Structure 1
């Protein structure tokens, strides 16, 4: 229904009914009727709404898919995020998820494998130290070895976990969540956070998918997911190879180099050094105290790790176009582009190529 779409787009834009009324010149009462389905917007009103909400008119007219709901949600660092902001994030996620489901329905055979927990993951996990072995086993089963994972999003999507990059308002304490949409496992991560935080969030949410229902009653799931995330991104053996088996001191430059090789923060590298037994807990505490004293608890020194991007959705749209499953107009709609922007991207003109690189 068009009313559901107007409501979702309004929440995604962070607008109240009154704010939307001011921007469109359509009364608050009329907008309320649109959203409740008791009145249908005219063509002129649809154009005003699409401009104010930053969506295409095709989005507002697209039939609602009843099965697209965010289920089995696990939030990360969300407890202080206002409900209004979470509603806005959820609306954006549902829009992207709906386009995902619509795209996948176009294919005669499902083009993405279904995620399955590797057989090497134990049915019962009784202590945090065991998570080191779990991370190593998952890496081994997925053919990752012990080297850095250059593209974590591509790795997860290759195993059947859809990754959605959410638009998150500035200064919002939200990193990501895990859930299911239309039966498909989904990880949502903010696209505005630094790459090291983004990767840790992705690995943390992977932990929720791997460990669900497997932890002993005395283990905290968030703590377990943090431990698994660190071990998955930076295996214990790799820590020993880069830092040695036992150290009584560390140089900050060592952690900085480790950060840019494995795509984790210096703080996370410090945690891993302690978890791998390279440094003592006492030394870890002293180094963390110095790290925060230098102001690196909020912003670490040097060049940040670049955020990751997903290209799978765009690839599957162009594949569907090439196979004649859809036409150009539908492809542009799925990608959220104007017809002219889509033509530029498709023809690989300079402007279009640059735009595609920043999707």
Structure 2
């Protein structure tokens, strides 16, 4: 008996990995059973009850049935046989800014996608001879040491100059964090992050997210992984405070925020600081540069002009380079083929290429 299932001299699926793989595809147990039955093409029938028993570890999924299961989930069979905890894809503390419209089912899909990304990166990094150093560390926040203090501390430890940060993605990657872009179950979630114990912080940006919000969203997630080892009731507010100070330090942005600030001024500041006009207005209000009345008035103007949805002068997206560089190293220096890399990542070659090689410009 291994991992709760009976193994008889051959590879057997690991039940938690069956669940994770299914949820990453946004499939129900009935969907998996239907997909398996369709593949059998009249030569057999698979019930939802079978899938339920397999996921519960009440029967072994081996041999031809393992191959069938893998085809239904569109993953290589060996992925389903991995132990999620041992392979670095077990459940850990996951951070995100959840919107009210995000369903529990979508959230489970996103969590499964993140944990599989974690597994993929874990296995790819193990193949790198000298992976980059990790310069992340936890910073405690309490009644005396605030989220703003944490942002100032991190900027100092990372040697970031005063004023606008040239690239938030670049700062995170220089510190050894891993940033990727993926499609995350629609538009309800801009990003998700995780710092597994003993591994690297991972940040996944939704490809559907607004470019204007990307830097603030990523800084928000950075605040989570740095400050929040365990969840607390104030963590979303703290992450916003961290992001505001990290991107718009009070001593640097303060002199540029005035009581008579208007949309034209916010537009000019946006081009310099590369955050949304709404974020700049919120910062001006937080720092006491504009009154409550003026803050409400300008927010009404933003809404009337449709700037809540799309602002003028859309900021350019920052592009992750560390993961593509690591994959390029594995290809060019260690001579791993796409097939080798796909196997390490637990993906078929076409999906690996779509997920990891497009940013390299590799066909």
SS in 2 for 1:163: strand
Which of 184, 203, 228 is 2:219 aligned to? 203
Q: CA deviation at 1:267?
A: 0.6
Which residue of 2 is the match for residue 161 of structure 1? Answer: 177
Moved more, 272-281 or 205-214: 205-214
Q: For residues 209 and 77 of structure 2, what CA distance do their matches in structure 1 show?
A: 30
Pairing 1:55–2:105 present: no
Q: How has the CA–CA distance of structure 1 residues 334 and 356 changed in structure 2, closer, same or farther, with 3 Å as cutoff?
A: farther
TM-score, normalised via structure 2 length = 0.76
3-state SS of 1:71 partner: coil
Q: Does 1:96 align with 2:117?
A: yes
The question of whether the paired residues in 1 share the 8 Å contact of 2:330 and 2:336 is answered with yes
Q: CA deviation at 1:156?
A: 1.1
In the alignment, structure 1 residue 126 sits paired with structure 2 residue 141: no
CA distance in 1, matches of 2:350, 2:194: 35
Q: Structure 1 4/224 Cα, relative in aligned 2: closer, same or farther at 3 Å?
A: closer
Q: Does 1:139 align with 2:150?
A: no
Name the CA shift for 1:45/1:338 in 2 (closer, same or farther; >3 Å): closer
The structural deviation recorded for 1:203 is: 0.9
Written as runs of structure 1 = structure 2, the 5 A alignment for 1:171-190 is 171=187, 173-184=188-199, 185-190=201-206
CA distance in 2: counterparts of 1:357 and 1:137, whole angstroms: 37
Question: What pairs with 1:24-63 in structure 2 (closer than 5 Å)?
Answer: 24-25=36-37, 27-28=46-47, 29-37=49-57, 38-40=59-61, 42-43=63-64, 46=67, 49-50=69-70, 52-57=72-77, 59-60=79-80
The Cα of 1:229 is off from its aligned counterpart by 0.5
- Write the distance in 2 (CA, Å) between the matches of 1:154 and 1:97: 20
Query: How far apart, CA to CA, are the structure 2 residues paired with 1:157 and 1:68?
Result: 21
Assess, with a 3 A threshold, how the Cα gap between structure 1 residues 82 and 104 changes in structure 2: closer, same or farther.
Answer: same
Tell me which stretches of 4 or more aligned residues in structure 1 moved more than 6 Å. 340-346
1:1-359 equivalent positions in 2, closer than 5 A: 2=13, 3-25=15-37, 27-28=46-47, 29-37=49-57, 38-40=59-61, 42-43=63-64, 46=67, 49-50=69-70, 52-57=72-77, 59-60=79-80, 64-66=84-86, 67-77=88-98, 81-107=102-128, 110-117=131-138, 124-126=142-144, 131=148, 134-171=150-187, 173-184=188-199, 185-212=201-228, 220-240=234-254, 244=256, 246-250=258-262, 252-297=263-308, 299-302=309-312, 304-324=314-334, 326=336, 328-334=338-344, 339=349, 356-357=360-361
Give the drift of 1:62. 5.1
* C-alpha contact 2:285 2:295 (8 A) present in aligned 1: yes
| Structure 2: gaps of 5 or more residues | 1-11, 38-44
1:31–1:224 Cα change, 3 Å = closer
Change in 2 beyond 3 A, CA 1:229/1:345: closer
The structure-2 alpha-carbon separation of the partners of 1:343 and 1:225, relative to structure 1 and needing over 3 Å to count, comes to: closer
Indicate if the aligned counterparts of 2:177 and 2:202 stay in contact, CA closer than 8 A: yes
Measure, in 2, the Cα distance between the counterparts of 1:234 and 1:276: 11
Provide the C-alpha distance between the structure 2 equivalents of 1:76 and 1:63, rounded to a whole number of angstroms: 29
Tell me which residue corresponds to 1:349.
Answer: none
Task: Count residues in correspondence.
Answer: 339
